[in-house]
Structure 1
Amino acid sequence: MEADAIVIGAGLAGLTATRELKQAGWTVRLLEARERVGGRLKGYALGDGKAVDLGGEYFGDKSTLIAETARSVGVERFSTYDDGERVAFVNGKRFTYGGLIPLRLGPVALPDFGRAVLKIERLARRVPPDRPWTAPDAEKLDSQTFWSWCRRNVATAPARAFLTMAVEAAYCAGPADLSMLHVLTYANASGGFRYLLEVTKGIQRYRFDGGAHSVADKLAARLPDELRTGAVVRGIEQRSDSVVVSGPGFTARARFVVVAVPVTLAGRIAYTPALAGFRDQLTQRMPAGSAIKCLAIYDEPFWRADGRSGQVTSTDGPFRVAFDTSPADGSPGVLSAFVTGRAARTLTLLSPAERRSAVLDGLAKGLGPRAAKVVDFVEQNWLDEEFTRGCYHGYATPGTLTAHGPALRAPIGRIHWAGTETGVHQLGSMGGAIDSGRRAARELLARERGERPAGRRAEELTGHVQ
């Protein structure tokens, strides 16, 4: 295979970069290791033409890029079901409530939680998503974990537990894993920390009719000549005038390559010449989050008749949050349980039958015994997915962004980087993937015009200037 550009990875980032370059008149080859497209988007067919998502699915009013892309391929949105009471388990106590947090959390814990959220919001607004390492006090923030920040800024155990649960649900990592600077960067890029936690007023407001994965499928359908599935890239060799990409059963050559896979997987490709430590060390410090998504399917969404929204949160149960993810017409009833962070690390060691039992038990405690009586139960263990190795996105460990942040997007010779972790608009989400694919395409088109690649200074630090 020969082309102007090779794009590795047919998630939203790779599909977007390929579409943009094709529209500019370039020849492109899009190589995908799996036999499907979508990357961290994956669907599950319910029958009767209906489908739900085993991967990413939510977006809000501020998620303009994914909304725009979906419209361009004819995928419609609908509002996430959010009517009725919510259920929460906080340090073993059960609460029913409406809004963001249980009002009966306690007269001291409730304002404590509110103050912590406001502090995080104020700090996040000072962190530029494109260059978080330049933020005021960046090194101080990057030197501490979310856990250590909470110990100093959140006084009560219930508020700390609820905040930790919310972060594990949104970031898929334990509070001791996450650099505080990363927490703030992701929050600001997404539209605000509270926006990450809300449904109707937040990033969970909408879903796609037919599933988010249908957006990727329809993008791929417009790239029949460019896409090749089952192409596992093992090596990238840079030459003076080209780059050669190879894997079992194929070799492809192009002027440039866009690596549009999770950061940690990009580090598992063999590069010739080897990447300098400045970039390679980044891939060692941005692991993927831990997430298992479980779908509990019922004849009908019985919780709606009970006056419940279907949302169940838990600080110490088998999952951190569950939502009503039934199709647009409400039939059949579907609950999605998000097993994230420390809970995912625990449950991934169990058998599928044990995970099913644990999740259904958690749903039954929240919504009653009918929640244990499913028509079907499906899980997607993203930790075990060979070409993903975790969800929702790669997160920065302490010290990573200030030491290696510029390597996220800086081209290295003929290699350019994409993927949601490298996006700016809503990085870590579907919008971040699309943003990164557009940026990578713009970089290549700029090089065609003889302009310097963006992030040249960081590229020079790697020692791979071509």
Structure 2
Amino acid sequence: MGAGYAGLTTARRLADAGIDVVVLEAADRVGGRVFSQVRASGVRLDHGGQWIGPTQRRFQALAAEFDCPTFPTWETGRHVEIRADGTRADYTGGAPESGPGIAEYERITALLDTLARTVDLERPWETPRFAEFDALSAEEFLRTETDDKDALQRLALAVQGVWCAEPREISFFHVLFYLASGGGYEQLMETSGCAQDSRLGDGADAVARALARSLGARIRLGEPVLSIRQTQTEVHVHTGGGTVVHAARAVVTVPPAAVERIAFDPPLPPARLGWVRHAPMGRVAKVHAVYEEPFWRDAGRSGIATLYGERPVGVVFDNSPQDASRGVLVAFVYGDRVDRWAAAPDAERRRAVLTCLSEVVGERAGEPIDYVEQIWPRTGWTIGGYECFLTPGGWTSHGRDGWRSPSGRVHWAGTETASVWNGYIDGAISSGERAAREVAAALGPVVRQPG
């Protein structure tokens, strides 16, 4: 169930093996948490996951197979850091070479990488100091390492940016697992050669749309799954569209927070329910402002920024199309900041974001020709973005049996169940491949009919 990258990959693998499949999707589109839209300005905007990195090999392979071109993320020019006190620092590369808290920040991020290298990605509970680290929040661990408030502020923005959560909310072990899954701290944070290396010219859901075309009528949109009943021989799936599907196996790919919207008979095992209840979705809004041209480039600015303090926006990127036919800035509002900002009236929200963008690239940013907000905690079956995070104790209490072990005839996929690139599109794809292997093994050899 679910026509995001995990569900589409599962279905394709099974269909290629000669197994009959049906994909049930609640929304009126495919892609799940990856969603692009062509605006009246002519620009295609990615409202969800959007980047592809060179080590995300499964995503790269599918993009190549379906002839979905990519182009480098724009990072030419000076980036800017705007500190809580309003001071600014221009820089190039990953971070300013010097500044408040930089030395401590770099020491601690190196320590995080060292600890992440001890993580067992296939059997996380076998990791040294697993229970100790899972009992701590990221904030608790970081505060045992430093009392440098500027370093802590930098680390907090990193947590907010990657997991869309506050350091007090997330298991420290989950931070280490995620770093190991993606190849280290720099891989997650940086642009060139890393997770934010490139974008897809036709939108990040272009590959999902191509996968959907290859599956044809097997995909049924507007069919939210309401209940799943297992018998000794079958799974009966009931949807809000009145459809009842009888199948030998089911694969559920919806985000963890959406699992409890489905009624299961018999009920899910306690470990799976416990896992889901320790796995809230992140809190993030993604806001695009579109301009006639990327005017900041003429001034030698990249459009990349980090912002601290009480401002709603935490990070900004240049999200212009490859041909620069329009200028686009994308602003991210994370964690506690999105809670406060999203509660404000529409005009106030817009004014607050455009004020931040004006700080980054100048006054012209205050007058976009198009402006659009995607507030993910308000969005349909996703209930947040872009991925879940584990709260302290979740891995220890429920990981071994609740993370991705099948629940009878029900199997689990979705990026949160991946060992490599967990939380990313590539992880969603690998999770679908794993779930398809599980189902195929459970069903046994398929006899293909002639003709």
TM-based fold match above 0.5: yes
Would you say 1:240 and 2:235 are equivalent positions?
no
Q: Provide the residue aligned with 2:163 in structure 1.
A: 171
Distance 1:58 1:351 in 2: 30
2:444 to 449, 452, 455: 449
Residue of 119, 125, 148 corresponding to 2:117: 125
In structure 2, the partner of 1:463 is none
AA aligned to 1:72 is E
Considering only aligned residues, what root-mean-square deviation do their CA atoms show, in Å?
1.3
Instruction: Provide Cα deviations, 1:350-375, integer angstroms capped at 9, x if missing partner.
Output: 22322211111111112111111100
Task: Note if 1:216 corresponds to 2:211.
Answer: no
**Aligned residue in 1 for 2:417:** 422
- Cα deviation for residue 50 of structure 1 reads 4.8
Aligned equivalents of 1:242, 1:285: Cα separation in 2: 29
Among candidates 421, 428, 434, match of residue 429 of structure 2: 434
8 Å CA contact retained: 1:311, 1:323: yes
Deviations 1:426-456 (A, max 9, x none): 0100011001000000001111238xxxxxx
Q: Distance in 2 between matches of 1:115 and 1:375?
A: 43
Partner of 1:5: none
8 A contact 2:41–2:370 mirrored in 1? no
Letter in 2 for 1:303: W
Instruction: Read off the aligned partner of 2:360 and give its amino acid letter.
Output: G
- What is the letter of the counterpart of residue 342 of structure 1? D
Q: Which amino acid aligns with 1:45?
A: V
Aligned partner of 1:181 in structure 2 is 173
Question: How many equivalent residue pairs?
Answer: 441
> Which of structure 1's runs of 4+ aligned residues deviate more than 6 A?
none
Structure 1 position 140, deviation (Å)? 0.8
For structure 2, list consecutive stretches of 5 or more residues without a partner in the other structure.
446-451
In structure 1, what is the Cα distance between the partners aligned to 2:230 and 2:300? 60
Calculate the TM-score normalised by the size of structure 2. Answer: 0.95
Is the 1:164–1:315 Cα contact (8 Å) retained in structure 2? no
Given the superposition, is the C-alpha separation of residues 356 and 235 from structure 1 closer, same or farther in structure 2, using an over 3 Å criterion?
same
Of residues 3, 10, 26, the one that matches 1:33 is: 26
Distance 1:410 1:267 in 2: 17
1:115 aligns with 2:99: no
Instruction: Check the 8 A contact 1:409/1:417 in 2, yes or no.
Output: yes
Amino acid paired to 1:87: V
Counterpart AA for 1:321: V
Are residues 1:43 and 2:42 paired? no
For residues 336-351 of structure 1, the aligned pairs below 5 Å read: 336-351=330-345
User: 347-356 or 227-236, which moves further after superposition?
Assistant: 347-356
- Assess if the C-alpha contact under 8 Å between 1:91 and 1:161 holds in 2: no
Q: Does 1:198 align with 2:193?
A: no
In the TM superposition, what whole-angstrom CA distance separates every residue of 1:211-241 from its partner, at most 9, and x where no partner exists? 1011111111111120000001110000111
C-alpha separation in 1, matches of 2:91 and 2:390: 33
Question: What's the offset of the Cα at 1:46?
Answer: 3.9
CA shift in 2, pair 1:295/1:49, >3 Å: closer
SS in 2 for 1:100: coil
> For residues 62-141 of structure 1, what are the structure 2 equivalents within 5 Å?
62-92=55-85, 93-106=87-100, 109-141=101-133
**d(CA) in 2 for partners of 1:348, 1:34:** 23
Deviates more, 1:254-263 or 1:348-357: 348-357
- Per-residue Cα deviation, 1:38-84 (whole angstroms, up to 9, x for no partner): 00011121468751201100121111111111112110111000111
CA distance 1:72–1:95, shift in 2 (3 Å): same
The CA deviation string for residues 88-146 of structure 1, in whole angstroms up to 9 with x for no partner, is 1232232211222223414xx22211101100110111112222222110111101111
Deviates more, 1:201-210 or 1:255-264: 201-210
Contact 1:139 1:402 in 2 (8 A): yes
Aligned to 2:369: 375
In structure 2, how many angstroms separate the alpha carbons of the residues matched to 1:89 and 1:147? 23
Percent of residue pairs identical: 38
Tell me, in whole angstroms, the C-alpha distance in 2 between the residues paired with 1:396 and 1:62: 24
> Structure 1: 5+ residue runs without aligned partners?
1-7, 451-466
Work out the CA distance in 2 between the residues paired with 1:48 and 1:340.
27
Q: Which of these residues, 375, 393, 398, is aligned with residue 399 of structure 1? A: 393
* Aligned partners of 2:43 and 2:326 also within 8 Å: no
Q: Give CA deviations for 1:321-360 in whole Å, capped at 9, x if unaligned.
A: 0100111111211111111122112212122322211111
Secondary structure (helix, strand or coil) at the match of 1:52 reads: strand
- AA in 1 matched with 2:196: Q
